[in-house]
């Protein structure tokens, strides 16, 4: 079967798997679904039927049905984009997520691109000047940057730049007084609010990108085809970009797939520190407020976002590397 077709078919399968996992986890949550809420409601003097109806509205799980029925109901709800009702915010979960998702995607994409570009530039310069002071200082800095988790930069920036110097805002995704829309003022406000999260997330990843780019480039530089290209009298610039950089970046592209996952997950910490209203922020909100529908909804949507991101990356990998193997290997 065609690789691209097969890869596309796998998406619904993966999402089904994720939904199943989410369902299972909801069942496993301490005290089962909504024990706490049930007790609260009963204290208020609500009768059992009313409580069941209320809980059913909150999460599309009917407590009185059998497990397979609950599962089917849950899946139908997911397909209809019904992820239940947030207890703490008193809004449908899907509405909260609809507002939060763009911010998270924005932060992850911009910071990952910046990290990749800066890391590749730094790494290739180090490789060209291998052994010089620039190289050793660069490597030292890269190792130092790798040792500091991104949230430490976030905390430092927040304490110094936002709280002490008041150069940057301490929370929210945009100034509330400015109306959302395609205006310059709004765009500036968005960038101003996103700057610190993006910068701390970028710095947190530049070190490892630079180090692996440096290693790959040095390896490629020692290959015969680079020598041949030089003997053919190709310009240095062409060799540097087409022959060395391309081949050094290739192995990093597969790493990028994994990186997107780590970074999407990392937004949980980042957004909580900056009180930035993305998916991760609401996930933690859900955790802290015992708001399971919100928590599980955010978890599922973050996961689906990752599934799609990896899909896009997988699809485009074939464009970059024509050698991609699509057939199965023989079984020994």
Partner 1 sequence: MQMSTDTDVNWQSERTDEAIDWRDRLHEGFVLRIYEPAIIAWSDRRTQTGLLIVLVYLSMALVDLLGLWRDASTSQAPRMLGAFQNWSYPLGTTQSGVDVLALIIDSTPFILQMVLAGGVWATGVAVIAGTISGYKGGLTDSVITAISDFFMSIPGLPLVIVLGITLEPESPLVLGVILTINYWAGLGRSIRSQVLSIRNESYVEAARAMGTSTVRIIRKDILPNLMPYVLVNFVFAARYTIFAAVALYFLGVLPYTGQNWGITLNYAYNQGALFGLEAIHWLLAPIIAIVGLACGLILLSQGMDRIFNPRVRTRLTGESESVESTPDHTTEVR
Name which of 78 and 268 has its Cβ closer to partner 1. Answer: 268
Contact 69, 62 (CB under 8 A): yes
CA 89-95-101 angle, to 5 degrees, is 105
Q: Which is nearer to partner 1, 108 or 198 (CB)?
A: 108
We find the least distance from the C-beta atom of residue 19 to partner 1, in angstroms, to be: 12
* Dist CA 315 CA 4 (whole Å): 7
Q: Which is nearer to partner 1, 189 or 217 (CB)?
A: 217
Asked if 297 and 97 touch (Cβ cutoff 8 Å), the reply is: yes
**84 and 59 Cβ atoms separated by less than 8 Å:** yes
Cα separation of 226 and 91, whole Å?
60
- Smallest separation (angstroms) from partner 1 to the CB of 47: 30
- Angle at 132 (CA atoms; ends 249, 212), nearest 5 degrees: 25
* DSSP bridge pairs for 92: 85
Helices and strands, number each (H, E), in the chain: 13, 0
Is residue 177 within 8 Å of 205, Cβ to Cβ? no
Cβ-based neighbour number of residue 320 at 10 Å: 11
Cα angle for residues 169, 174, 178 (degrees, 5° grid): 115
Closer of 100 and 221 to partner 1 (Cβ)? 221
Closer residue to partner 1 (CB): 97 or 244:
244
For the bound state, the minimum distance from the C-beta of residue 148 to partner 1, rounded and expressed in Å, comes to 5
Shortest approach of partner 1 to residue 44 CB, angstroms?
25
8 A C-beta contact, residue 162 and residue 239: no
Residue numbers at the binding site for partner 1 (CB under 8 A): 10, 14, 17-18, 21, 25, 28-30, 127-131, 143-144, 146-149, 151-152, 155, 159, 163, 218, 221-222, 226-227, 230, 236, 239-240, 244, 254-255, 257-258, 261-262, 264-266, 268-269, 272, 280, 283-284, 287-288, 295-296, 298-299, 302-303, 306-307, 310, 328-332
Q: Least distance in Å: CB of 281 to partner 1?
A: 11
CB 125 → partner 1: shortest distance, Å? Answer: 10
Q: Using the minimum distance from each CB to partner 1, give the nearer residue, 189 or 291.
A: 291
Q: What is the 3-state secondary structure (H, E, C) of 131-180?
A: CCHHHHHHHHHHHHHHHCCHHHHHHHHHHHHHHHCCCCCCCCCCCCCCCC
CB of 286 to partner 1, least distance (A): 10
Q: Which is nearer to partner 1, 26 or 174 (CB)?
A: 26
Integer Cα distance of 145 and 201 in angstroms: 11
User: Measured from the CB of residue 13, what is the shortest distance to partner 1 in angstroms?
Assistant: 8
Measured from the CB atom, the residue of 38 and 271 that comes closer to partner 1 is 271
């Amino acid at each position: 079967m065609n690789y691209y077709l097969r890869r596309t078919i796998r998406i619904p399968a993966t999402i089904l798997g994720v939904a199943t996992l989410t369902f299972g986890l909801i069942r496993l949550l301490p005290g089962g679904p909504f024990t706490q809420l049930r007790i609260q409601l009963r204290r208020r003097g609500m009768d059992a039927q009313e409580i069941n109806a209320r809980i059913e509205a909150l999460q599309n799980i009917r407590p009185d049905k059998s497990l397979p029925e609950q599962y089917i109901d849950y899946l139908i709800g997911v397909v209809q984009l019904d992820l239940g009702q947030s207890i703490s915010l008193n809004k449908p979960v899907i509405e909260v997520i609809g507002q939060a998702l763009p911010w998270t995607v924005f932060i992850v994409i911009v910071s990952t691109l910046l990290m990749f570009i800066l890391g590749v530039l730094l790494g290739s310069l180090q490789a060209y000047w291998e052994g010089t002071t620039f190289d050793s200082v660069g490597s030292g800095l890269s190792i130092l940057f790798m040792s500091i988790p991104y949230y430490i930069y976030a905390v430092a920036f927040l304490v110094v730049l936002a709280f002490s110097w008041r150069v940057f805002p301490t929370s929210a995704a945009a100034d509330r007084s400015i109306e959302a829309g395609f205006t310059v003022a709004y765009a500036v406000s968005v960038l101003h609010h996103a700057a610190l999260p993006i910068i701390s997330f970028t710095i947190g990843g530049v070190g490892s990108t630079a180090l692996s780019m440096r290693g790959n480039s040095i390896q490629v530089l020692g290959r015969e085809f680079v020598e041949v290209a030089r003997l053919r009298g190709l310009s240095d610039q062409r060799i540097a970009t087409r022959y060395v950089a391309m081949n050094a970046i290739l192995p990093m592209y597969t790493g990028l797939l994994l990186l997107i996952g780590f970074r999407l997950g990392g937004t949980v910490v980042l957004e909580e520190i900056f009180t930035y209203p993305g998916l991760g922020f609401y996930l933690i909100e859900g955790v802290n407020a015992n708001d399971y529908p919100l928590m599980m909804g955010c978890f599922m949507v973050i996961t689906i976002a990752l599934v799609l991101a990896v899909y896009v990356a997988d699809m485009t990998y074939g464009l970059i590397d024509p050698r991609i193997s699509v057939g199965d290997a023989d079984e020994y």
